[in-house]
Amino acid sequence: MRTVTLETLFIHPIVQKYVGRSGIAHAIEVAEKAFHIAKSTNVSPDLATKAALLHDIGHYKWYENGKWNFDLYKENDIHAIKGAARAHKLLVRLGENLQDAKAIALAILLHTDSYLPEGHLKLSPLQQIVAKADEADEEPHGAHHYKEIDAESALNRIRLLDQKIDNLLQSNDLEHTS
Ligand SMILES: [Fe+2]
């Protein structure tokens, strides 16, 4: 049994506030993509979907006179750092296993390298999944952050994903015990 489900996270006011800012539709899309990649690569679908759902929780609104200032964002953004810390705090508060909370936070920290100095990072399979799933949903000029979804469909997709994760974890357990 998972201590923290996607639904627990999704309905939390912190997630609604900050993921609402960076785009609920994008976060769900990335979580669904992460599930499929995790399933086909034997990585924990629980960790991959949580990191994917929360990957942009550290975003700040870079507005100037009511408009998104992309240059300001590029120069000053640290959303992955902020997001990793924010997600970690929330997960621990909700009772997540500490190793899992750390793995999720690191996957969020490394889902983009746009704020890092030049160089090559060796990402773990979990970290690669979150980065790939995010990239797959990216649209020019950050349009993926503005995609809309109504609250009911959003919650339904989160619940469906929770079910799929439970089913997959259960069938993996059966495989190991048979
Ligand atoms: Fe993203």
- The model's pLDDT over 55-94, given as tens digits with 9 standing for 90+, comes to 999 988 777 777 778 888 888 889 999 999 999 999 999 9
Compute the distance from residue 175 Cα to the ligand 1 centre, in Å.
34
Compute the distance from residue 178 Cα to the ligand 1 centre, in Å.
39
Reference 104, options 36, 39, 159, 34; nearest CA is: 34
Please compute the mean of the pLDDT values over residues 132-146 and round it to a whole number.
89
Compute the distance from residue 132 Cα to the ligand 1 centre, in Å.
10
Residue 33 carries which side chain, given as an amino acid letter?
K
Compute the distance from residue 7 Cα to the ligand 1 centre, in Å.
19
Give me the pLDDT at residue 50, please: 98
- Whole-number average pLDDT of the chain: 93
Compute the distance from residue 168 Cα to the ligand 1 centre, in Å.
25
Compute the distance from residue 172 Cα to the ligand 1 centre, in Å.
29
Which residues place a Cβ less than 5 A from the ion ligand 1?
A: 56, 134
Give me the pLDDT at residue 142, please: 79
Give me the pLDDT at residue 174, please: 79
- In the chain, where the domains are located: 6-160
Give me the pLDDT at residue 67, please: 78
- The domain 6-160 having CATH identifier 3.30.499: the answer here is no
Compute the distance from residue 176 Cα to the ligand 1 centre, in Å.
34
Residue 14: pLDDT band (50, 70, 90) is very high
Compute the distance from residue 56 Cα to the ligand 1 centre, in Å.
5
Please compute the mean of the pLDDT values over residues 101-114 and round it to a whole number.
96
User: Alpha-carbon distance 65 to 155, whole Å?
Assistant: 33
Give me the pLDDT at residue 178, please: 61
Report the largest interatomic distance among the alpha carbons of the chain, rounded to a whole angstrom. Answer: 62
Compute the distance from residue 131 Cα to the ligand 1 centre, in Å.
8
Which parts of the chain fold into alpha helices (H)?
Answer: 6-11, 13-22, 24-41, 45-54, 70-76, 79-93, 98-109, 125-136, 151-177
Compute the distance from residue 28 Cα to the ligand 1 centre, in Å.
10
Asked if 133 contacts 33 with a C-beta cutoff of 8 angstroms, the reply is: yes
Place of tokens 């990649």: 37
Tokens of 77: 């953004």
